Structure 1
């Protein structure tokens, strides 16, 4: 770096907690964000609870880290992101990111498995695995907290409203069918399970969103998700229906044969 660039480099001062038993993760993120945006960081450690409390009292703030730029207090990590024009996640806001990440990973997994077995990622089996992997991982997310999933699911599923135990059975059934479809075994069992839960789910979502015009959160990726109910959940159910029909036809010798 030239002398002129060193003189013109922006400087920021950060006060953050660095203790034997705790290093503030937001302090690390703050320093990284500043450096990536061209700042030279003067890093001040608050190494004890007493020192941290004294700093908060002096500056009348409730949290650390705190960033100062040109003598002006910017605030915490979210305040710094706003100051630099970066997006700040809104707590509780709806987002499709979890679903995009999930389907991207299951697609790549299916392509990788197809390549490993057949030497070609683009096979009929890869398409089947994509749906089956998606079903299994969606079930896994629901099973992380079945109670929370069931509570959200009861908001819109027609069968669960009439028979509450179905809200607890659903993620197990979805995962079970997905695993059988990945293995390509017991088609006589996986097909009716996937077809049943897919049809009930699709009808329930369509009624809640497109007929009743309700604005709900989808339980498709677990009970703590902020994914809006609608297209994503409907797609999940339609995928299960399509997979069930496809595998039934294949079992009858009507579908496209798999590569060998």
Structure 2
């Protein structure tokens, strides 16, 4: 890895009235944070950009030069500095873990506002019902993309396609009703039903059929692998359905 101490770098990046290149800004920021003195050249028109590309025989901007060497764009700079390169196609659990983490914080906040304490008997209800709402919201943003991915593994949706459109709204509705403590006679069976079908579908696809699929748990076009986390989402709905039913049963 090249040392960045007391080195200077030249950056050529697009900055027009119509477009501020985000990778150009990231490139300049990264160089400065690594101790480089940056000679920042902004290309302020399409003609300037095209002229630069033709002259340097490159296909894109930004372009970084350290000394007499052309390093390349933002990703090439990260590699040059020994840093990892973000990969939008890499499988990751981060989206769903982020949702559960935020749901925990929201649940604790609601509990504090309603009960005057962070931890009470209702804390799990607030946390998990919030998680259901957030997960449902991710799916509702693009129901068509969700349904396309969901149909790869859900057993009921494969037999009755409209269920793939029903599922996101059912999950969201059940979570909202549980969060409000209203119409539990509807919310609990709904959560139990979609959770049980979902858990069975994920278990069969992953642990019996050994299929490597992407999970639709955070909406369509996600890179979350179908497996333990997606199974957990459905088990949470089952647990919430059973718990809420026990709360409303007499005696």
**What TM-score range do you get, normalising by the shorter chain?**
over 0.9
Instruction: Give distance in 2, aligned partners of 1:225 and 1:124.
Output: 34
In structure 2, what is the equivalent of residue 77 of structure 1? 74
> Could you tell me which of 7, 19, 29 is aligned with 2:16?
19
Instruction: Give distance in 1, aligned partners of 2:139 and 2:22.
Output: 28
In structure 1, what is the equivalent of residue 92 of structure 2? 95
Instruction: Give distance in 1, aligned partners of 2:250 and 2:243.
Output: 11
The question of 1:195 aligning with 2:195 is answered no
> Could you tell me which of 122, 125, 131 is aligned with 2:122?
125
Instruction: Give distance in 1, aligned partners of 2:147 and 2:95.
Output: 19
Instruction: Give distance in 1, aligned partners of 2:57 and 2:12.
Output: 14
Offset from partner CA, 1:24-65 (integer Å, 9 cap, x none): 111111111111111111101111111111111111111101
Instruction: Give distance in 2, aligned partners of 1:86 and 1:110.
Output: 36
- TM-score normalised over the length of structure 1: 0.93
- Quick check: 93-102 or 116-125, which moved more? 116-125
Aligned pairs (5 A) from 1:1-260: 9-252=6-249
Structure 1 residues without counterparts, runs of 5 or longer: 1-7, 255-260
Per-residue deviation, 1:159: 0.4
- TM-score normalised over the length of structure 2: 0.96
Instruction: Give distance in 2, aligned partners of 1:71 and 1:112.
Output: 55
Per-residue deviation, 1:18: 1.3
In structure 2, what is the equivalent of residue 4 of structure 1? none
Please give the secondary structure, in 1, of the residue aligned with 2:202.
helix
Root-mean-square deviation (CA), in Å?
A: 1.1
Instruction: Give distance in 2, aligned partners of 1:10 and 1:179.
Output: 56
Offset from partner CA, 1:152-201 (integer Å, 9 cap, x none): 10000000000000000000100110100010011100010000000000
Please give the secondary structure, in 1, of the residue aligned with 2:136.
helix
Instruction: Give distance in 2, aligned partners of 1:219 and 1:20.
Output: 39
Structure 2 residues without counterparts, runs of 5 or longer: none
Please give the secondary structure, in 2, of the residue aligned with 1:226.
coil
Offset from partner CA, 1:61-89 (integer Å, 9 cap, x none): 11101011112111011111111112112
Per-residue deviation, 1:91: 3.4
Per-residue deviation, 1:115: 1.3
Offset from partner CA, 1:75-122 (integer Å, 9 cap, x none): 011111111112112232111111121111110111111112222111
Instruction: Give distance in 2, aligned partners of 1:233 and 1:21.
Output: 41
Please give the secondary structure, in 2, of the residue aligned with 1:124.
coil
Instruction: Give distance in 1, aligned partners of 2:206 and 2:175.
Output: 26
